[in-house]
Amino acid sequence: MDFQLSEEQRIFKKAVHDFADQRLAPLIPVWEKPGCFMNREDLKLYREMGLLGITLPERFGGGGQTAFEAVLAIEELARVSPIAAFPVFETSVGPIRVVEQFGTEEQKQRFIPPSCTGEKLMSVAMTEPGAGSALTDLSTKAVPVGDHFILNGQKRFISGGGHADLYMVYVRFNEIKGAKGIGGIVVEKDSPGLSFGKQEEFMGLHGMPSCDLIFEDCRVPRENLVVPQGEFAKLMQAFDVERIGNATMSLGIAWGALEAAKKYAQERQAFGKPICEFQAIQFLLADMAMRVEAARLLIYRAAVNAGAGLPSVFESSVAKCFSNEMAKEVTDMALQVFGGYGYSKEYPIERMLRDSRGWPLAGGTVQIQRINIAAAMLGRRFSQR
């Protein structure tokens, strides 16, 4: 398997690298402030760079590239902040891919072009107060009434909640229990009966909107149904590509921490010489580099093998689980290199450490990924009930 970048990919990667450093890095202190989120003017920067809808078909305004190009962009952007990478994540490996893979032609025409321009971003709404890892316990219901569905229920911890324009909502139809009753429907932000809870305040990932979605007799047109009941597997297949994006967020954070630690170790003086001269620091840097490189290879494998389609559950779960845990370890080691300065908000390491802790929870915990890995290895599913 050859992971050498083509000339076009190298040029693209360098352009995103410079864009992240020059245009987005100065915005991070703003996004870190309470209640401050990326605005539409910020999104114009991404549109001008061609970074929205990288994997979506060209006929809808997308880049027509593979998951690998999206990974290259997310990695470079998450290096400065996962918030900087979020628009690329949402429009290239997020729930819009459900529409692209399984939607009708009419749905693709309606929902994909505005995602590629940044006019309407789509978030996924899966988790509920009583259904997270046990996703098939979800209770948000969709009842057909005439030419609409009536939704009732509540979704929790929805990234993009209150700010996204569209939501791919996992719902239960016709009181059918388990996975067989679950499908996916697009709910627009201004749908009657949809309201939003308060914005969450998390330990990390400041600048990323997240809140509850509350459905109270919410009316949604039937033509917004993308994945009908009985096809829950399609939703999870599409979610495998989102796992790759999640893993790449972790990779980008860890890579940023490693680069910062390398730079600091060569500048910081102790006992009359740079601290990189000390073996203890060398060991920390080497351990960080090994972990980052291993995660990068796992993610690249899953993305390259997926091509323009969807990755395998085994490769995406391995990449996500390893990368999520790796980022926690690497940012912690980077803080140790920085010493007391790493614990200060004047330096980026404490933010990176906080941000790294969110991804092992989002998109399926690392424990769930281990169950997925074992199931794929043994060719069977394991009931947790």
* Beta-carbon count within 10 A of 332 CB: 17
311 touches 299 (CB < 8 A): no
CA end-to-end distance (rounded Å), the chain: 39
70 touches 299 (CB < 8 A): no
CATH topology for 122-229?
Butyryl-CoA Dehydrogenase, subunit A; domain 2 (2.40.110)
* Beta-carbon count within 10 A of 28 CB: 16
- CA-based nearest residue to 32, from 350, 359, 360, 337: 350
CA triplet 265, 266, 270: central angle to 5 degrees?
70
CA distance 172 to 177: 8
Distance, C-alpha 186 to centroid of its chain: 19
What pLDDT sits at residue 39?
86
The CATH number, out of the four listed (1.10.3720.10, 1.20.58.340, 3.40.630.10, 1.20.140.10), of the domain defined by the range 233-378: 1.20.140.10
Give the C-alpha distances (Å, rounded to integers) separating 97 from 53, 207, 371: 10, 24, 24
- CA-based nearest residue to 85, from 208, 236, 204: 208
211 touches 155 (CB < 8 A): no
Q: What is the pLDDT along the chain (385 residues), one digit of tens a residue?
A: 667 899 999 999 999 999 999 999 999 999 999 888 998 888 999 999 999 999 999 999 999 999 999 999 999 999 999 999 999 999 999 999 999 999 999 999 999 999 999 999 999 999 999 998 889 999 999 999 999 999 999 999 999 999 999 999 999 998 888 999 999 999 999 999 999 999 999 999 999 999 999 999 999 999 999 999 999 999 998 888 899 999 999 999 999 999 999 999 999 999 999 999 999 999 999 999 999 999 999 999 999 998 777 889 999 999 999 999 999 999 999 999 999 999 999 999 999 999 999 999 999 999 999 999 999 999 998 887 7
What pLDDT sits at residue 1?
63
Give the C-alpha distances (Å, rounded to integers) separating 199 from 82, 155, 207, 215, 347: 18, 13, 11, 17, 26
Give the C-alpha distances (Å, rounded to integers) separating 257 from 274, 278, 345: 18, 19, 14
Residue spans of the domains in the chain: they are 7-117, 122-229, 233-378
What pLDDT sits at residue 381?
85
254 touches 288 (CB < 8 A): yes
| Domain spanning 7-117, CATH class | mainly alpha
Q: Which two tokens stand for residue 351?
A: 């933010």
Q: Which residue type sits at 41? A: E
Same topology, domains 7-117 and 122-229? Answer is no
Longest dimension (CA), the chain: 79
CA distance 156 to 185: 17
